[in-house]
Amino acid sequence: MNDIRWPNFLKHGDHVALIATARHAKAEEIQKGVAYLESWGLEVIQADNLLQQHFIFAGTESARRHALQKAIDDPSIKAIFCLRGGNGTHRLIDFIHLKNLKKHPKWIIGYSDVTVLLNHVAQYRIPSIHGPMPFTMHKEEEQVGAIALKELLFGKLPKYIFPSHALNQQGVAEGKLIGGNVAVLHSLISTASDITWKNKILFLEEVDEYIYNLDRMLYHFSRTGRMKGLAGLIVGHLTSMKDNAEPFDLSAQEVIARVVKPYKIPLAFSFPAGHELPNMPLIIGATARLEVTEQNSILTFKK
């Protein structure tokens, strides 16, 4: 029995919310994002805090929390677009009430810092989308991922065929997809957003992180038992990874492969999602099937 509470797909004229749970943005950047979503035939409701700034954030925690809660509770809103990532969503999540989202699921879209929100709502069997955000999706170079996001939101489930990698582990896995940014997932351990990994397919991406710290986080995942029972692992972009003057002597990909190898699960590198282009949309919380062969890897979703 499929117990997933799928939101309705979008249609022309639907109302969607544009909110900012993390970093602030300039008015020009916001308006480009609004115009782009309007070009899809959507009516964009802008959160009150979009133009606010409090330190690096888009307003105070109270303002950002209120904007997110309002978008969740408004029955006319069919999807919630997070403007951008950065930092700050974790400060809000424990104060957000999901009663109305459980009754009337709606799409939540974002990635990076928004990993907190995506995995939190996945605990309640509500799918969301790890994908491009309005802060940059209007740019010409972002159109491959942005168009794929539009197609998904309007009802076309994606099928991805992506290149093989020397560190892949072959096999087939099926389970609900979870994951996102490694550091953000690591910050969820022992919190109310700490979703179980058992029988799940995990997606990981990272940006601007030291390889030694990636190693530490991956081994922590392993030591806490999260990888025991994991169905499969997909690795996306590992962007601008850093090393010390004395090299770690392993690449970021090699670090992940070494930690995962003992679990003998399907492992697929080279998925095109994360902090570089293309950033293809993934349905967090949906049932997915991963097939890793010598020739390529295939990821599909089913409703």
Q: Is 287 found in the same domain as 251? A: yes
* Predicted local distance difference test score (pLDDT) of residue 21: 98
pTM of the model: 0.97
Handedness of CA 192, 118, 47, 7 (dihedral sign): negative
Contacts of 128 by beta carbon, 8 Å cutoff, 6+ apart: 107, 108, 109, 117, 118, 121, 122, 283, 284, 285
> In this model, does residue 62 exceed pLDDT 90?
yes
> In this model, does residue 159 exceed pLDDT 50?
yes
Q: What is the rounded average pLDDT of the residues 158-184?
A: 99
Cβ distance 218 to 255 under 8 Å?
Answer: yes
Query: What proportion of the chain, given as a percentage, has pLDDT over 90?
Result: 99
Q: What angle do CA 80, 95, 98 make, to 5 degrees?
A: 50
Give the count of domains, the chain.
2
Question: Tell me: the pLDDT tens digits for 109-150?
Answer: 999 999 999 999 999 999 999 999 999 999 999 999 999 999
Q: Is 196 found in the same domain as 165? A: yes
Distance, in Å, from the CA atom of 199 to the CA atom of 108, rounded to the nearest integer, reads 23
* Predicted local distance difference test score (pLDDT) of residue 2: 66
* Predicted local distance difference test score (pLDDT) of residue 1: 42
Host domain of residue 43: 15-153
CATH number of residue 63's parent domain: 3.40.50.10740
Domain boundary among 102, 133, 153: 153
Q: What is the rounded average pLDDT of the residues 5-29?
A: 98
